[in-house]
Amino acid sequence: MNTNMLTLARKSLLEPAGLGETELMRLIGQLMSGSVDYADLYFQYSRHESWSLEEGKVKSGSHSIEQGVGVRACAGEKTGFAYSDEIVLPALLEAAGAARAIVQQGAPARVPVAFRGEVGRQLYRPDDPLASLPDEAKVKLLERVEQEARAQDPRVKQVMASLASTHEVVLVVRSDGVIAGDVRPLVRLSVTVIVESNGRREQGSSGGGGRFTYDYFSHADQALSYAREAVRQALVNLDAVEAPAGTMPVVLGPGWPGILLHEAIGHGLEGDFNRKGTSAFAGKLGQRVASEQCTVVDDGTIPDRRGSLNVDDEGTTTQKTVLIENGILKGYMQDTLNARLMGVAPTGNGRRESYAHLPMPRMTNTYMLAGKYDPGEIIASVERGLYAVNFGGGQVDITSGKFVFSASEAYLIENGKITRPVKGATLIGNGPDVLTRVSMVGNDLQLDPGVGTCGKEGQSVPVGVGQPTLKIDSLTVGGTQG
């Protein structure tokens, strides 16, 4: 894989618009006047498609194209922002004029003498997933998923499946002379089933994806395994009894339950909230925020992962950032603005939903490293508690630190054994101290299958999470059986 992402991005974003270094210099010059100390341009072109199946038929499909340029000027803590959905010089000059209007006119422009390309990583191939499979085969794939789900059990009443992909090309031009590009494929397959038995209905969902082409779903029956997993979950829930209510030991399974880390500590460690002092973690650097067994990282550099990027949306090469090491808070996730204002280095976490949105510090793939315990041993250590293995969404109030995440598949643990399945329930805790109550960390680290989307201030970005099996000595479980 030696394709130069920047070359590809220049070719598809700048050349058709007739934009060369001279024009880019002129735009940066337009932005860098007065007290503006940083400016950037974010070019984006993306194509998206989705196909969806219900009642055994692929009834609909859609295709969309989005393109534009976001123009930003920063002066201290001030940011001016405008964008254009036309990639042509006059529109960009107008946007630049609007963006830099946050500051007084004045001092002459300081522009870089030359641009230098940020090399970035090579974590995925710059393939176009939309073109990776004939349309007919996309339809067939969904139909096979449906048939596989139905073949599992006669109680399967409804199968809904969807296949989606995005091909995105981005290019960042910065006032410090950095120019960077990335070509980002992203695919996802999701399946939801509804089962019915004796008048009771339950659902189960599964899916996966990442930064590659549709080929991934054909390898080793990947797509069909999602169908089987969704049915398995739904059938488990048919037997679920009311969930317990109250505080008890909770064992979380490996992989996707890492949403715990995303909500409980991840958002609270984003640079913007800590610079402003609005996070419950503000000022806690160097302090103990987790048990000694916990080491948590945010890693944008894992090949092919949904949350990975070769460069972030500000052109900074991504990295693996240690957030918590053996229980001690080590670092925050930063974009360029917050890193500059806090006097630290950016960590490659500057992300944005699109050219029409401002970048912010955001997570990439956030996970806890493996510990020493066998998962069976962890469950055996619990007299009475909850074992939760699948989750829906989660949310956090970063200021009070309170977070929730909702189980969609959970079981009671009684006398060290997994017994009955219980209905989904929301788990609630306090971010700055929940990890101090992690008493056992398993040796079975897993990353999620590639389905996570994170929302912050109205912007959605794809992310990943992961963790080994772990035990929290006490956490509040929001069931109905007191």
Partner 1 sequence: MSALVTSPVVADKEARARLSAVVEYVLAEARKSGASAAEAGVNTSQGLSLTVRLGEIETVEHTRDKGMGVTVYFGQRTASASTTDFSEQALRETVRAACTIARYTAEDDCAGLADPERLAKNIPDLDLHHPWNPGTERAIELARAAESAARGLDKRITNSEGGSLSTHEGLEVYGNTHGFLGAVAATRHSLSVSVIAQDDSGMQRDYWYTVARAAAGLESPEKVGLEAARRSLRRLGSRKLSTRDCPVLYEAPLASSLLSHLVSAVRGSSLYRQASFLLDSIGKPVFADFVRIHEQPHLKGAQGSAAFDSEGVVTKPRDLIRDGILQGYVLDSYSARKLKMATTGNAGGVHNLTIEPGKDDLAALLKRMHTGLLVTELIGFGVNMVTGDYSRGAAGFWVENGEIQYPVEEITIAGNLKDMFRHVAAVGSDVDTRGNIRSGSILIESMTVAGS
Query: Which ranges of 123-241 does DSSP label H, i.e. alpha helix?
Result: 135-152, 215-218, 222-238
User: For partner 1, which is the closer residue by CB, 181 or 429?
Assistant: 429
Q: How far is the CB of 423 from partner 1 (least distance, A)?
A: 5
User: For partner 1, which is the closer residue by CB, 20 or 246?
Assistant: 246
User: For partner 1, which is the closer residue by CB, 57 or 417?
Assistant: 57
User: For partner 1, which is the closer residue by CB, 259 or 447?
Assistant: 259
Q: How far is the CB of 47 from partner 1 (least distance, A)?
A: 9
Q: How far is the CB of 332 from partner 1 (least distance, A)?
A: 17
- Alpha carbon dihedral 187, 50, 42, 356, in 10-degree steps, equals -140
Count the residues in the chain. 482
Which is nearest to 317 in space by CA: 476, 116, 458?
116
Q: How far is the CB of 220 from partner 1 (least distance, A)?
A: 26
User: For partner 1, which is the closer residue by CB, 266 or 442?
Assistant: 266
Close Cβ partners of 390 (under 8 Å, ≥ 6 residues apart): 233, 253, 256, 257, 407, 408, 409, 410
In 15-132, the DSSP E strands lie at 38-54, 57-75, 78-84, 116-117
Pair of tokens at residue 240: 């679920």
User: For partner 1, which is the closer residue by CB, 25 or 236?
Assistant: 236
Type of residue at 397: D
Q: How many CA atoms lie within 13 A of 87 on its CB side?
A: 23
Exposure b/e, 52-74, CB count within 10 A at least 16 = b: bbbeeebeeeeeeeebbbbbbbb
Which is nearest to 105 in space by CA: 26, 175, 36?
36
Q: How far is the CB of 331 from partner 1 (least distance, A)?
A: 21
Pair of tokens at residue 191: 């399946």
Segment (H or E) for 22: helix 21-31
Q: How far is the CB of 178 from partner 1 (least distance, A)?
A: 22
Q: How far is the CB of 278 from partner 1 (least distance, A)?
A: 6
User: For partner 1, which is the closer residue by CB, 416 or 478?
Assistant: 478
